[in-house]
C-alpha cells in the first residue's frame, strides 16, 4: 500500500497592528503610490513588541488543529518553518510543542527563508510517505519586523509578520501529489540576514543583524526559478496547466505573482493573493494565503492547488496538492 499525505485542516494568525504605506512614507523616502505600483502592497501587519514567532505560531496551529478536528495526542510530528525563531535553540517547534501540550513525536525547525513553508511541507509529506509519521503539524511563522532595517526603503516596505499552519494526515490517496525543492547557495549574498551567530568574523566588523537585499536581482531570479518549478510539478504528475484550480503563491511582490500566473496561463481570478493587506510574511505567506482562501470559501475540497515559494539561499520549491 502506498502512503500519501493530505491536508485535513488549515489555520492562520495575523497580529492586530496595521502598518500603512502612508506611515512608512513618513519614515523613509517612499510613497504609497510607489509601493502599490511596484509591489501591490497597501498595508501589512506588525507583531506587538512582546509578541514572538511562537506566540503567533501557537494561535495558527490551534486553529488548524481545530478545523482538522484533532487534539494534542493526535500529532506525532511538528515541522516549523521560520527564519526569525524565538531563540537560536531550542527550536521554535519545541517551544510550540510545549505550548500545545503535544508530547512524544519529533519537533524541529526548517530554515529556508521565504521558501520555508514549502520545505517544511515537503519534509512532513515525505515523513508520512515513508510511514515515519501519521499526522504532522506544519507551520510557517515569522516576525520579520525584528530583522528589518526600518531605514532601508528597499526592504522595510515589503516584509511583515504572521503565521499559518496545516495538519497533514496519512491517506491512501493523494492529497499531496509531489513536492519539488531546489537551492543555489551561490546567491547567498543577494538576500540575507548576515549577523548574530558569527564566530568567523573576529577580525572583521560585526555583520549586520538586519536583512540586506538586492531587490531587482532577487526579482529576476525568482521569476525564472518559480516559473520553472511550477511547470516541473505539473510535468512530474502528467498534468496540464488547465488542470490547476488555484495557484497559492508566496506573496513577495504582485508582479512576481502575475508573471508566474502568466507562465501557467491562469487568470488572476485563479490566484490567491493576500499581499495587498499582508505584505511579505516570508515562510508564513503560503499557509496564510491557503487558510484565507479556504475560510472565505474559494478553495474547496477536491480542487487542485499549486503552491510555490522562493527566498534567501536562494531556496525555492513547489507542491501540487489535491485539497
Give me the residues that bind ligand UT7 (CB under 6 A), please. 30, 34, 38-39, 114, 153-154, 157, 215-216, 218-219, 222, 252-253, 256, 280, 310-311
- CA distances 27 to 151, 180, 214, 260, 297, Å, are 7, 40, 21, 32, 38
* Minimum distance of ligand UT7 from residue 252's CB (angstroms): 3
* Minimum distance of ligand UT7 from residue 285's CB (angstroms): 8
- CA distances 89 to 95, 162, 197, 236, 316, Å, are 9, 21, 12, 37, 25
* Minimum distance of ligand UT7 from residue 166's CB (angstroms): 20
Per the DSSP assignment, residues forming a β-bridge with 19 are: 44
Nearer to ligand UT7, 65 or 222 (CB): 222
83 is catalytic: no
Residue pair 280/252 in contact (Cβ under 8 Å)? The answer is yes
Catalytic residue among 83, 114, 156, 253: 114
Catalytic residue among 83, 156, 180, 280: 280
Nearer to ligand UT7, 83 or 299 (CB): 83
Instruction: Indicate the residue whose CB is closest to ligand UT7.
Output: 215
* Minimum distance of ligand UT7 from residue 214's CB (angstroms): 8
237 is catalytic: no
Radius of gyration of the chain (CA): 19
Cα separation of 121 and 105, whole Å?
17
* Minimum distance of ligand UT7 from residue 323's CB (angstroms): 24
Cα separation of 236 and 215, whole Å?
31
Nearer to ligand UT7, 34 or 108 (CB): 34
86 three-state secondary structure: coil
280 is catalytic: yes
Nearer to ligand UT7, 2 or 216 (CB): 216
Nearer to ligand UT7, 9 or 312 (CB): 312
Handedness of CA 176, 182, 187, 188 (dihedral sign): positive
Per the DSSP assignment, residues forming a β-bridge with 5 are: 170
Catalytic residue among 94, 180, 250, 253: 250
Q: Which residues are catalytic?
A: 114, 250, 280
Amino acid at each position: 500500500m502506498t502512503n500519501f499525505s493530505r491536508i485535513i485542516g488549515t489555520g492562520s494568525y495575523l497580529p492586530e497592528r496595521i502598518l500603512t504605506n502612508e506611515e512608512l512614507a513618513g519614515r523613509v523616502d517612499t510613497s504609497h503610490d510607489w509601493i502599490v505600483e511596484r509591489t501591490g502592497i497597501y498595508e501589512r501587519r506588525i507583531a506587538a513588541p512582546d509578541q514572538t514567532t511562537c506566540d503567533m505560531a501557537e494561535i495558527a496551529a490551534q486553529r488548524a488543529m481545530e478545523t482538522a478536528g484533532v487534539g494534542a495526542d493526535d500529532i506525532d510530528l511538528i515541522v516549523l518553518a521560520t527564519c526569525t525563531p524565538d531563540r537560536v535553540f531550542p527550536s521554535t517547534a519545541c517551544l510550540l510543542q510545549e505550548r500545545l501540550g503535544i508530547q512524544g513525536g519529533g519537533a524541529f525547525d526548517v530554515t529556508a527563508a521565504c521558501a520555508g513553508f514549502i520545505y517544511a511541507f515537503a519534509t512532513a509529506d515525505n515523513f508520512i510517505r515513508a510511514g515515519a509519521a501519521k499526522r504532522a503539524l506544519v507551520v510557517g511563522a515569522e516576525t520579520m519586523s525584528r530583522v528589518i532595517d526600518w531605514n532601508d526603503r528597499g526592504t522595510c516596505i515589503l516584509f511583515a509578520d504572521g503565521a499559518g499552519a496545516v495538519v497533514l494526515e496519512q491517506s491512501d490517496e493523494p492529497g499531496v501529489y509531489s513536492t519539488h525543492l531546489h537551492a543555489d547557495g551561490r546567491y547567498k549574498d543577494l538576500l540575507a540576514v548576515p549577523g548574530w551567530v558569527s564566530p568567523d568574523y573576529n577580525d572583521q566588523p560585526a555583520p549586520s543583524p538586519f536583512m540586506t537585499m538586492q531587490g531587482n536581482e532577487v526579482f529576476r531570479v525568482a521569476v525564472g526559478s518559480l516559473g520553472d518549478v511550477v511547470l516541473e510539478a505539473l510535468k512530474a504528475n502528467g498534468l496540464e496547466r488547465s488542470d490547476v484550480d488555484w495557484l497559492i503563491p508566496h506573496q513577495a511582490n504582485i508582479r512576481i505573482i502575475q508573471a508566474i500566473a502568466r507562465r501557467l496561463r491562469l487568470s488572476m481570478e485563479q490566484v490567491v493573493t493576500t499581499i495587498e493587506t499582508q505584505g511579505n510574511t516570508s515562510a508564513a505567506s503560503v499557509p496564510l494565503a491557503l487558510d484565507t482562501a479556504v475560510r472565505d470559501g474559494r478553495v474547496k475540497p477536491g480542487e487542485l492547488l499549486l503552491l510555490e515559494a522562493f527566498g534567501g539561499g536562494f531556496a525555492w520549491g513547489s507542491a501540487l496538492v489535491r485539497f
